[in-house]
A and B are shown apart, each in its own frame.
Chain A
Amino acid sequence: MAIKDYIRERFFPHIWCPGCGHGTVMNSLLRALESLGMSRNEIVMVSGIGCSSRISGYVDFHTLHTIHGRALAFATGVKLSRPELNLIVPMGDGDALAIGGNHFIHAARRNIDITAIVMNNRIYGMTGGQFSPLSGYGTMATTAPYSNIDHAFDTVELAIAAGATFVARSTSYHVKQLSKILRDAILHEGFSVVEVLSQCPTYFGRKNRAGSAVDMMEQYKNDTTPIGSKAKKENPDLIERGIFVQKEMPEYCREYDKIIEKAMKGN
Chain B
Amino acid sequence: MGKLKLKEHVITREWCKGCGICVHFCPKQVLELDDQDKVFAARREDCICCELCELRCPDLAIEIETEQGSE
Residues of A at the B interface (CB closer than 8 Å) are: 3-4, 7, 12-14, 16-24, 26-28, 30-31, 172-173, 175-176, 179, 212-214, 217
A23 touches B60 (CB 8 A): yes
Interface residues of B in 21-50 (CB under 8 A from A): 21, 24-25
A213 touches B19 (CB 8 A): yes
B15 touches A175 (CB 8 A): no
B68 CB, min distance to chain A CBs, angstroms: 18
Q: In whole angstroms, what is the CA distance A14 to B15 when docked?
A: 8
Sample of 18 further A-B pairs with CB below 8 A, known A27-B56, A27-B58: A4-B60, A7-B60, A12-B14, A12-B60, A16-B58, A16-B59, A19-B17, A19-B21, A19-B58, A20-B58, A21-B58, A24-B21, A27-B57, A27-B60, A173-B25, A213-B19, A213-B21, A214-B20
Q: Secondary structure at chain A's binding surface: helix, strand, loop or mixed?
A: helix
B29 CB, min distance to chain A CBs, angstroms: 14
10 contacts between A and B (CB under 8 A): A12-B14, A18-B17, A18-B18, A19-B19, A24-B21, A24-B56, A26-B60, A31-B55, A172-B56, A172-B58
A19 touches B20 (CB 8 A): yes
A to B contact number (C-beta, < 8 Å):
68
Considering only CB atoms, which chain A residue lies closest to B59 in the complex? Answer: A23
Which among A14, A26, A214 is the interface contact of B21 at CB below 8 angstroms?
A214
Residues of B at the A interface (CB closer than 8 Å) are: 14-15, 17-21, 24-25, 52, 55-61
Considering only CB atoms, which chain A residue lies closest to B37 in the complex? Answer: A18
B21 touches A217 (CB 8 A): yes
A13 touches B20 (CB 8 A): no
A211 CB, min distance to chain B CBs, angstroms: 12
Q: In whole angstroms, what is the CA distance A27 to B21 when docked?
A: 14
A9 CB, min distance to chain B CBs, angstroms: 9
Measured between beta carbons, the chain B residues less than 8 angstroms from A19 are 17, 19-21, 58
Measured between beta carbons, the chain A residues less than 8 angstroms from B61 are 13
Q: In whole angstroms, what is the CA distance A217 to B22 when docked?
A: 12
Measured between beta carbons, the chain B residues less than 8 angstroms from A175 are 52, 55-56
A151 CB, min distance to chain B CBs, angstroms: 30
Measured between beta carbons, the chain B residues less than 8 angstroms from A14 are 59
Residue among B20, B55, B57 with most chain A CB within 10 A = B55
